């Protein structure tokens, strides 16, 4: 329920109390705390949480249809990886099809290609350090993109062809990915390598360039570095061609009239499509300002000035060590945060492999501190 800092006024030494109820007799004092709370709660973009028939989170998927009737008409909002899990389960276990899947862009993740092991030739700490010395300690985003394009040329990657998805239907795009498994897989390996090194890449940019990256390039990294398995793509193609799945773009709004959900598209808010059940697969929140009672522990940590928000998401930490930076106590040398809670600093580094690496580094640091 609560994690707070014990420190007498004027004393720089701190310890940490962890409370499992609001009764302070439940609190125990620790020398070190790891904040490994997993993902934050799901977005509720249309303020439907608590409405009958609205499923706020699709996980675990095998419970998603527990309160759904066989005759219910279902729509899924969101077209990312979470929605693919929902699609696979619902099409197999729900007889009333087609299933409507919708979002503003209706973009699906790319298909995983044949990913070789690559060694960066241009995106290296040495090159970054050389360039940073000419630009007040930061790597300009334009020069980082130029190095990335040099990597693509070195590995024979045609960015224009692979990234262009204009005028392709969903089936055509999935088929394109399946038939370009080698080149697409090379690009995905390159992007995976960037994710694995994102700690020093991301924190070499100034704040303005970080925002530019999020606005113009993050979607490419997201679509291509979290690809779907080929057999999922084959399933989607079959289900779309058999009219069991309908994917729609330009989602505008969802309202509830007491019995049904009305989904409107584009600018015509009065033209509704009605559904009995909405499954939310829009993904989890990333900013502390978005949180509600579902993330009360995090809100309490912020309220007690143990943590502070990062403007690009999550909380402030020291990038190299994952130590929490408190607005009241400064760097907390024995409080560490890992995972999605650190997404503003650890941009695109919340996959399992990256979190395991962070955990190993954190434990090594802690052991070094204990021997000092």
Q: Which of 175-184, 234-243, 260-269 has the lowest mean pLDDT?
A: 260-269
pTM (global) more than 0.75? yes
Asked whether residue 104 falls in the same domain as residue 132, the answer is no
84: tokens are: 């693919």
Answer yes or no: is 205 within a domain.
yes
Question: What's the pLDDT score for residue 349?
Answer: 65
Residue in this structure with the two tokens 């009065």, named with its chain if needed: 270
Looking at per-residue confidence, does 156 or 8 come out higher? 156
Residue 92 has pLDDT above 90, yes or no: yes
Asked whether residue 186 falls in the same domain as residue 205, the answer is yes
Answer yes or no: is 114 within a domain.
no
332 within 8 A of 14, measured Cβ to Cβ: yes
Asked whether residue 135 falls in the same domain as residue 202, the answer is yes
Asked whether residue 169 falls in the same domain as residue 306, the answer is no
Instruction: From 344, 360, 333, select the one nearest 199 (Cα to Cα).
Output: 344
Q: What is the DSSP letter of 50?
A: T
Asked whether residue 295 falls in the same domain as residue 271, the answer is no
Q: How far apart are CA 85 and CA 64, in angstroms?
A: 11
The domain containing residue 180 runs over which residues? 125-225
Looking at per-residue confidence, does 319 or 246 come out higher? 246
Question: What's the pLDDT score for residue 10?
Answer: 77
371: tokens are: 């021997």
Average of pLDDT values for 134-138?
A: 96
pLDDT in tens, 332-349: 999 999 999 998 888 766
Residue 131 has pLDDT above 70, yes or no: yes
CA distances from 270 to 100, 106, 158, 340 (A): 19, 21, 44, 38
Of 188, 205, 225, the domain-final residue: 225
Answer yes or no: is 326 within a domain.
yes
18 within 8 A of 30, measured Cβ to Cβ: yes
Instruction: From 344, 214, 337, select the one nearest 290 (Cα to Cα).
Output: 344
Question: What's the pLDDT score for residue 199?
Answer: 80
Asked whether residue 171 falls in the same domain as residue 304, the answer is no
53: tokens are: 């028939």
Answer yes or no: is 120 within a domain.
no
Of 193, 208, 225, the domain-final residue: 225
Question: What's the pLDDT score for residue 348?
Answer: 67
Answer yes or no: is 199 within a domain.
yes
Question: What's the pLDDT score for residue 266?
Answer: 86
Asked whether residue 62 falls in the same domain as residue 15, the answer is no
367: tokens are: 């052991």
Answer yes or no: is 131 within a domain.
yes
pLDDT band at 74 (very low <50, low <70, confident <90, very high): very high
Average of pLDDT values for 68-82?
A: 95
Asked whether residue 258 falls in the same domain as residue 341, the answer is no
Answer yes or no: is 184 within a domain.
yes
139 within 8 A of 131, measured Cβ to Cβ: yes
Peptide bond into 139 cis (omega under 30): no
pLDDT in tens, 50-69: 999 999 999 999 999 999 99
pLDDT band at 271 (very low <50, low <70, confident <90, very high): confident
326: tokens are: 């408190």
Asked whether residue 135 falls in the same domain as residue 221, the answer is yes
Asked whether residue 309 falls in the same domain as residue 176, the answer is no
| CATH number where 78 lies | 3.50.50.60
Average of pLDDT values for 258-272?
A: 87
Asked whether residue 276 falls in the same domain as residue 299, the answer is no
Q: How far apart are CA 99 and CA 75, in angstroms?
A: 6
Neighbours of 26 (CB within 10 A): 13
Residue 370 has pLDDT above 90, yes or no: no
Asked whether residue 342 falls in the same domain as residue 269, the answer is no
Q: How far apart are CA 126 and CA 196, in angstroms?
A: 17
Instruction: From 315, 329, 365, select the one nearest 36 (Cα to Cα).
Output: 315
Q: How far apart are CA 190 and CA 233, in angstroms?
A: 22
78: tokens are: 């969101």
Find all residues with CB under 8 Å of 353, minimum gap 6, and list them. 196
How many structural domains does the chain have? 3
């Amino acid at each position: 329920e609560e994690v707070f800092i014990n420190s007498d006024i004027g004393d720089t030494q701190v310890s940490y109390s962890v409370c499992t109820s609001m009764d302070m007799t439940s609190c125990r004092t620790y020398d070190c705390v790891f904040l490994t709370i997993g993902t934050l709660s799901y977005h509720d973009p249309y303020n439907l949480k608590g409405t009958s028939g609205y499923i706020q989170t699709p996980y675990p998927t095998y419970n998603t249809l527990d309160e759904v009737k066989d005759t219910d008409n279902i729509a899924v909002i969101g077209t990312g990886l979470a929605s693919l899990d929902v699609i696979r389960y619902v099409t197999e276990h729900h007889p009333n099809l087609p299933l409507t899947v919708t979002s503003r862009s209706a973009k699906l993740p790319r298909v995983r290609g044949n990913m070789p092991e690559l060694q960066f030739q241009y995106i290296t700490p040495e090159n970054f350090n050389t360039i940073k010395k000419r630009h007040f300690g930061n790597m300009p985003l334009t020069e980082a993109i130029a190095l990335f394009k040099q990597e693509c040329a070195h590995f024979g990657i045609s960015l224009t062809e692979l990234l262009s998805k204009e005028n392709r239907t969903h089936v055509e795009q999935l088929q394109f990915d399946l038939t370009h498994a080698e080149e697409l897989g090379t690009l995905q390996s390159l992007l995976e390598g960037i994710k694995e090194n994102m700690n020093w890449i991301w924190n070499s940019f100034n704040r303005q360039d970080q925002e530019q990256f999020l606005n113009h390039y993050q979607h490419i990294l997201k679509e291509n570095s979290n690809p779907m398995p080929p057999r999922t793509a084959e399933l989607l193609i079959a289900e779309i061609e058999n009219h069991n799945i309908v994917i729609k773009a330009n989602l505008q709004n969802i309202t509830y009239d007491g019995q049904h959900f009305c989904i409107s598209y584009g600018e015509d808010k009065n033209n509704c499509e009605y559904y009995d059940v909405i499954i939310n697969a829009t993904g989890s929140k990333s900013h502390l300002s978005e949180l509600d009672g579902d993330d009360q522990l995090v809100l309490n940590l912020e309220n007690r000035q143990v943590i502070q928000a990062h403007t690009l998401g999550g909380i402030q930490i020291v990038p190299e060590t994952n130590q929490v930076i408190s607005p009241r106590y400064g760097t907390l040398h024995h409080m560490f945060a890992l995972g999605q809670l650190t997404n503003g600093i650890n941009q695109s580094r919340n996959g399992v492999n990256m979190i395991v690496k962070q955990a190993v580094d954190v434990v090594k640091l802690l052991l070094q501190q204990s021997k000092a």
